Amino acid sequence: MDQPAPTLSVIIPAFNEEQYLPCYLPSVLESIGRWELGSGLRSEVIVVDNASTDNTAQIARAFGARVVHEPVAGIGRARNTGAASASGAYLVFVDADVHFPIEGITEIIRSLDTGRCVGGAVPPLYEPTKTGTRLLVAAWALYRRFYGGAQGVTQFCTRSAFTELNGYRPDLFMSEDVEFFARLSRHGQRTGAPIRHLTDLRVRPSHRRFEQWPSWRMILWANPVTAHLFLSSRRFWRNWYDRTVR
């Protein structure tokens, strides 16, 4: 007998993540497992191998994830490729280097199940040690608070909303998550199903973005003003994409 389609698809874009998947993917799987046990429903985990040159795909399969390949580097493109192969009515996008809260999936599904929420985000908790990068994190937090955005570290939505919005913009190499969330927010307002920020939860990203580059370089390249000016420039973000910093 064929199994019913999964209710939930968790999509993880991954570029050369062989070092990070074993550290962080188990927390996502544990959160999924708790929700499945309580609900009796099924999920799937899709790791999008985005032009990796290491053992990302093999490691993802070893953890039970389904691997799909996106040969063109680009975080928005990778997320869209994962969504195109997903079967769930609900989509959750999680970065590969994120420690996920055990109750996270349960709370996300609880929000979406009401039918009064088109999607949302779980805020990240960054804890950089460098003064410069703490200022950068604060600048982005202020930017998102003012514009109502949310990072793609963990975003979720209904499949129908994702399809209607045509997903993430593949031509953006930075802030594609903020841009998508702005459109998702407007969609929620139009349909009477506003987005939700699950502020009682926090996901904890790794500190690699702050450790691989000096503070001055992070501030120069990754501040909200620069990001906005060069959103679609592959050349400008080549160092961000050619190494595992994103």
pLDDT tens-digit series, residues 168-217: 999 987 788 989 999 999 999 999 999 999 999 999 988 776 666 777 77
**What is the Cα–Cα distance from 44 to 162, expressed in whole angstroms?**
17
C-beta separation of 121 from 198 below 8 A: yes
Q: Is residue 2 predicted with pLDDT exceeding 70?
A: no
**What is the Cα–Cα distance from 149 to 181, expressed in whole angstroms?**
6
Nearest to 8 by CA among 111, 100, 95, 90: 90
C-beta separation of 173 from 240 below 8 A: yes
- Summarize pLDDT for 73-88 with one digit per residue, the tens: 899 999 999 999 999 9
Residues of the domain holding 193: 8-129+149-207
Q: How many domains does the structure of the chain reveal?
A: 1
In order of 57, 80, 106, 123, 163, the CA distances from 43 in angstroms are 19, 18, 12, 22, 19
pLDDT band at 246 (very low <50, low <70, confident <90, very high): very low
- Look at residue 176 and tell me if it is in a domain: yes
Task: Identify the pLDDT of residue 121.
Answer: 96
- Summarize pLDDT for 121-164 with one digit per residue, the tens: 999 887 767 776 677 777 667 666 666 567 778 999 999 999 99
- Look at residue 245 and tell me if it is in a domain: no
- Look at residue 22 and tell me if it is in a domain: yes
36-37-40 Cα angle (round to 5): 65
- Look at residue 64 and tell me if it is in a domain: yes
- Look at residue 235 and tell me if it is in a domain: no
- Look at residue 224 and tell me if it is in a domain: no
- Look at residue 156 and tell me if it is in a domain: yes
Task: Please count the CA atoms within 13 angstroms of the CA of 130 that sit on its side-chain side.
Answer: 17
- Look at residue 163 and tell me if it is in a domain: yes
Percent of the chain exceeding pLDDT 90 equals 64
- CATH classification at residue 153: 3.90.550.10
Phi and psi angles of residue 197, each rounded to the nearest 5 degrees, phi first: -95, 115
Q: Is residue 6 predicted with pLDDT exceeding 60?
A: yes
Please indicate, yes or no, whether the overall pTM of this predicted structure exceeds 0.85. yes
